Amino acid sequence: QVHLQESGPGLVKPSETLSLTCSVSGYSISSGYYWGWIRQAPGKGLEWIGSIFHSGSTSYNPSLESRVTISLDTSKNQFSLKLSSVTAADTAVYSCAAYSGSYRPFDYWGQGTLVIVSS
């Protein structure tokens, strides 16, 4: 069973970079699977941010691509999200998730962490 847990600051100032980490247990991220980030603004639906594959290649939501970086840290069995130049519109619950192969939905989700963008 794959278990995911998000961590990172709950408050980020406007124009700064949001940084979150997803710690994975029960599976080695370098062995396979695909890893992603999804967010949910207050009162809104789910928005896919991007994914990274066990090979390290990435894919991003075109609406966020210019500001997003997702990377792997295989030594710590973690992957991370960086979102630059944040505004209040980036306030959301950020969740990490995993899926087992191409053309698959997300099988596993973390609990999510609330990030507020405010000065």
Partner 1 sequence: EIVMTQSPAILSVSPGERATLSCRASQSVSSNLAWYQQKPGQAPRLLMYAASTRATGIPARFSGSGSGTEFTLTISSLQSEDFAVYYCQQYNNWPLYTFGQGTKLEI
Contact positions toward partner 1, by CB under 8 A? 34, 36, 38, 44-48, 51, 53, 59, 61-62, 95, 102-107, 109-112
In 3D, which of 99, 90, 5 has the Cα closest to residue 49? 90
Q: What is the DSSP string of 50-103?
A: EEEETTS-EEE-TTTGGGEEEEEETTTTEEEEEE-S--GGG-EEEEEEEESSTT
Minimum CB–partner distance for residue 32 and partner 1 (Å): 15
Rounded-to-integer distance, Cα 90 and Cα 18, Å: 9
Minimum CB–partner distance for residue 89 and partner 1 (Å): 16
Smallest distance from partner 1 to CB 65, Å:
10
- Cβ closest to partner 1, residue 10 vs residue 105: 105
In whole angstroms, how close is the CB of 15 to partner 1 at the nearest point? 27
C-beta separation of 2 from 27 below 8 A: yes
79 vs 106 by CB, closer to partner 1: 106
Nearer to partner 1, 2 or 16 (CB): 2
Quick check: helix, strand or coil at residue 38? strand
